[in-house]
Amino acid sequence: MSNFLVEIQEAVRDRLLSAEHFGALSMPPLISTESAGSVDAMIENGLTGNGCSLVIATPGYSALGERIEEGLEITVVVSIHERASINRGPSGTGLDYLSTAIQTIAALAGWSPGMGYTELRLRDGSTTEPGDNGDLQHEVTFALGAMVSRVPVG
């Protein structure tokens, strides 16, 4: 049985990696899913590489109604990390972390991963205060609906 949460993560990752989005950059950010391994290691690899890393977290979900048969609302969070000292230099992506957030919104808002899911709707975005090392972080949250036939129940 397929895991619908992994399906959504991989579809979002593939959309962001496509040529019309970050794949067109000469130095695209590292884009990975939380299911691919150590999140901290993935973030650090991107930050020490070209200074930018995107992680698609394992989606959350909640019932749309009182019964599971009414479907689910699925929440997808894309976490954007930037080490400005590298990313804004000659080996960087050419996009600061807020521009990367806008590009993420452009790529995902109104898009559907298909497979019985609705289009992604932008829910919110938030910036985290820089840490001791000056790394910047912004999270963009989307929501989409899933028909119950996509969700393994019972």
pLDDT, tens only, 93-107: 999 999 999 999 999
Least confident of 18-22, 58-62, 63-67, 138-142: 63-67
Structural domains of the chain, count = 1
Run of H or E including 42: helix 39-49
User: What confidence tens digit (pLDDT) does each residue in 13-36 have?
Assistant: 999 999 788 988 999 999 999 877
Residue 63 pLDDT > 80, yes or no?
yes
Domain around 112: 4-150
How many degrees, rounded to 5, is the angle at CA 112 between CA 110 and CA 118? 90
| Listed ranges 64-68, 75-79, 132-136; the one with the highest mean pLDDT | 75-79
> Measured in whole angstroms, how far is the alpha carbon of residue 119 from the centre of its chain?
15
Q: What is the CATH number of the domain that holds 65?
A: 3.30.2000.10
